[in-house]
Amino acid sequence: AQKVTQAQTEISVVEKEDVTLDCVYETRDTTYYLFWYKQPPSGELVFLIRRNSFDEQNEISGRYSWNFQKSTSSFNFTITASQVVDSAVYFCALSEVNAGNMLTFGGGTRLMVKP
Amino acid sequence: EAGVTQFPSHSVIEKGQTVTLRCDPISGHDNLYWYRRVMGKEIKFLLHFVKESKQDESGMPNNRFLAERTGGTYSTLKVQPAELEDSGVYFCASSQLVGALNTEAFFGQGTRLTVV
- Establish if B7 touches chain A: CB-CB under 8 angstroms: no
* Cis peptide bond upstream of B81, omega within 30: yes
| Residue B82, min C-alpha distance to chain A (Å) | 23
Rounded to an integer, what distance in angstroms lies between the CA atom of residue B8 and that of residue B2? Answer: 17
Residue among A80, A96, A112, A94 nearest A37 (CA): A94
Rounded to an integer, what distance in angstroms lies between the CA atom of residue B96 and that of residue B36? Answer: 21
Q: What is the pLDDT along chain A (115 residues), one digit of tens a residue?
A: 789 999 999 999 999 999 999 999 999 988 899 999 999 988 889 999 999 898 888 888 999 999 999 999 999 999 999 999 999 999 999 998 777 678 999 999 999 999 9
Neighbouring residues of B48: CB distance < 8 A, sequence distance ≥ 6: A100, A101, A102, B31, B32, B33, B54, B55, B56, B57
Contact B86, B79 (CB under 8 A): yes
- Taking CA–CA distances from A109, the nearest residue in chain B reads B42
Rounded to an integer, what distance in angstroms lies between the CA atom of residue B37 and that of residue B43? Answer: 4
Sign of the C-alpha dihedral computed for residues A61, A66, A70 and A73 taken in this order: negative
